[in-house]
Amino acid sequence: MQLQEFADRSHLDSSTIEAWVDAEWLVAQRPEHPFSEQDLARVRLIQDLKGDLGVNDEGIALVLYLLDQIYGLRCLLRDIQAMRITDSERTK
C-alpha cells in the first residue's frame, strides 16, 4: 500500500512513519507499494508498546529485534520440515 493509505490506516503522520523507517522499526519493501498488512500489524504493536505499556524507544527496538529473530527461526523451521517431508516421500 502507498504511504497515504498506510498513514490513514495506521493513524500516523508522515514524519512519524519516516522516523520509524529511519529507526528500522518499519522497512519499506518496494517503491510502488512500500507497506504491507504486516507493517500495519507492526505499527499496532509499536503503538501498544509505547502507549499501553510505556516501553521506551530502546525497549521497542529490542522487542522488534527479538520478534524478527523468532520469525526468522520459524521460517527456517518450516523449511526444514518441508525438506524432511520431501526426503521421506522420496525414500518411499
Indicate the number of domains in the chain: 1
Q: Which domain holds residue 86?
A: 3-90
Instruction: Check pLDDT > 90 for residue 89.
Output: no
Distance separating alpha carbons of residues 54 and 36, to the nearest angstrom: 26
Instruction: Check pLDDT > 90 for residue 92.
Output: no
pLDDT at 50: 94
Instruction: Check pLDDT > 90 for residue 29.
Output: no
Tens of pLDDT, residue by residue over 14-28, are 899 999 999 999 987
Tens of pLDDT, residue by residue over 41-64, are 999 999 999 999 999 999 999 999
Distance separating alpha carbons of residues 13 and 26, to the nearest angstrom: 14
pTM of the predicted model as reported, rounded to 2 decimal places: 0.78
Q: Which ranges in the chain belong to alpha helices (H)?
A: 3-10, 14-22, 37-47, 57-90
CATH number of the domain within which 32 lies: 1.10.1660
Instruction: Check pLDDT > 80 for residue 30.
Output: no
User: Cα separations (Å) of 1 from 5, 25, 59, 87?
Assistant: 6, 17, 28, 39
